[in-house]
Every structure is written in C-alpha cells, then in structure tokens.
Amino acid sequence: MGAVLISVALLGYFAASVLYVAGLYDRQWEKWANIGMLAGFASQTAWLIGVSWTTRAFPALTLYEWVAFFVWLTVGLYVIGWRRLFPRHVGGFLFPILFVVWLLSQTLSQRVGTVPASLTAPWLGVHIVLATAGYVAFLFSAVFGIMYIEKERELKEKRARLFYYQLPPLDLMDVYGARLIMVGVPLLAAAMVMGAVWAKTAWGSYWSWNAKELWSLITLAVYLGYLLARWFGGWRGHRAAVLAMSAFLLVLVNIFAVNLLFHGVHDYNF
C-alpha cells in the first residue's frame, strides 16, 4: 500500500509541475494542476500517517522520510496560501523543484528495524518541525528570487515576453523573498535550540560539533548575513535575489551531501 501511495504522490506532483508551467501560458491548465497537486498531497499525507502509525514515531526520522515531510509541508503551505498569500504562477516555479527533490529521494533507503527510544522524545519532533518549516521558508524565498531574476532579465533585454506579463512586480517579489527569510531565520534558530535540548537528554551534550550541526550553523549565519546586508547594506533587488537563491544551495547541501557523506549522531538508517 505504501508503494501505491508514493507512486500516486509522484504522479500527482509530476502532473502539477507540468501543468503549472503550462498555466504560465494558458490559465485554463491551472485547475488541472491544482487537482494533481491535491491528489499528490492527499496521497503523501496518507503515507506519512501510515509511517507514523506503524513506527509509533515522528514520520521524518530517516533522510527519506524527512525529504517526504519537507515536500509535504511545502505543498501544505502552498495549499493554504495559494489564493491569499502567494501571487499567481508561483506553482510554475515551485513544483518542478519539489518534484525533482521528491524523485531524487526515491534513491534513498527507507527505514529498517525498530526506532530507538531516544528518537521518540517530543523535543525531537518539535526540532524537526521547526527546522523543516525554516527550510520551507528558504525554499519559497529562493523561488521568488528565481522569479525576480527571470522578469528582470526580460526587462533588461527590453523584450516583453512571458514573464514580463505573468509575474508580479519586481518590488513585490523582492519583499516576499525578504519576508520569507525573516520568518525562516528564527524558525531555524529555534530548531537548533530545541535540537540542543534533545541532544542533552539523548546524548548528554548540547553540542557535539558534528558536520550536520556545523553546516546548519553556517546556513543560519548566511541567512543572517542576508538580513544584515538588506537592513544595513541596502541590498535590494538583483543582489538580494541572487543571495536568496545561492543560500538555498547550502540547504540542499545540508540535506543531501552532509547527511550522506558525513556520519555522526544524526544518522538513523540513512
């Protein structure tokens, strides 16, 4: 049953990614993209509930599960805000990224064996939710950065084409990107504090200086640098958009490269 739900989620997100892009050219495709998105989201929700029920633990302990939870939370926030919070056509840039991330995660191993007692502590669940929510905010900010650069490119070329007419004004996308990072930074900082509390309970130490912790600290520092550059250095527009996109590469490195290449206390059947 789990394989069926995963397949439906993949198919739904693939359809959404293709149809949202098509919606950039013809708005009638958006309603079909919404159907694909909701089908994928419902299927992934059922899968995560099944994992939690089977393991009696938070369904994001392995890297495979965490990527699924990250994609699910991103889509869930998009569902909540697609008419009120986010401008039209965000889906055409967001869902291709989500589909690729979700597809790549299928190469990761899934959970085997039982869950250690230390991984069922409530502090751990809070830590995971806060960190994931922070990364989701950073992803949306990167998406607005991509949208900004694409529309700016058409304006500089003085050739009004698709993005010139379909995307929001540049200053609006700039503000959206900045506000999302302002949300993501305290979420990630709180996640690191909660993680330290759980680590003290589980391992007897708040901080162990492993690769995962260090890279998370670097990521937080870079996004703090973004805010400082914006507030005190006057960074707006193009430079802010490029930094938002570049900074999200640190998140991707933290998710995949650090987890897969460096082993430590964060390992659990990765």
Residue ranges of domains in the chain: 1-59+74-98, 116-270
pLDDT > 90 in the chain, percent = 41
Name residues whose C-beta falls within 8 Å of residue 162's C-beta, 6 or more positions apart in sequence.
24, 25, 154
User: Cα dihedral angle (69, 71, 72, 75), rounded to 10 degrees?
Assistant: 160
- Over the chain, what is the mean pLDDT? 84
Any idea which of 166-175, 177-186, 256-265 has the lowest mean pLDDT?
256-265
HEC string of the chain?
CHHHHHHHHHHHHHHHHHHHHHHCCCCCHHHHHHHHHHHHHHHHHHHHHHHHHHHCCCCCCCHHHHHHHHHHHHHHHHHHHCCCCCCCCCHHHHHHHHHHHHHHHHHCCCCCCCCCHHHHCHHHHHHHHHHHHHHHHHHHHHHHHHHHHHHHHHHHHCCCCHHHHHCCCHHHHHHHHHHHHHHHHHHHHHHHHHHHHHHHHHHCCCCCCCHHHHHHHHHHHHHHHHHHHHHHCCCCHHHHHHHHHHHHHHHHHHHHHHHHHCCCCCCCCC
Interior angle at CA 32, CA 28 and CA 35, nearest 5: 145
The reported pLDDT for the residue numbered 135 is: 95
Considering the entire predicted model, what is its pTM?
0.89
Spatial CB neighbours of 245, under 8 Å, sequence gap ≥ 6: 142, 145, 146, 149
What is the predicted pLDDT for the residue at 36?
Answer: 93
Look up tokens 């919070």; give the residue. Answer: 85
Q: pLDDT digits over 208-242, tens only?
A: 777 777 888 889 999 999 999 998 888 888 999 99
The CA distances from residue 189 to 62, 69, 101, 215, in Å, are 22, 19, 24, 13
pLDDT at 187 over 90: yes
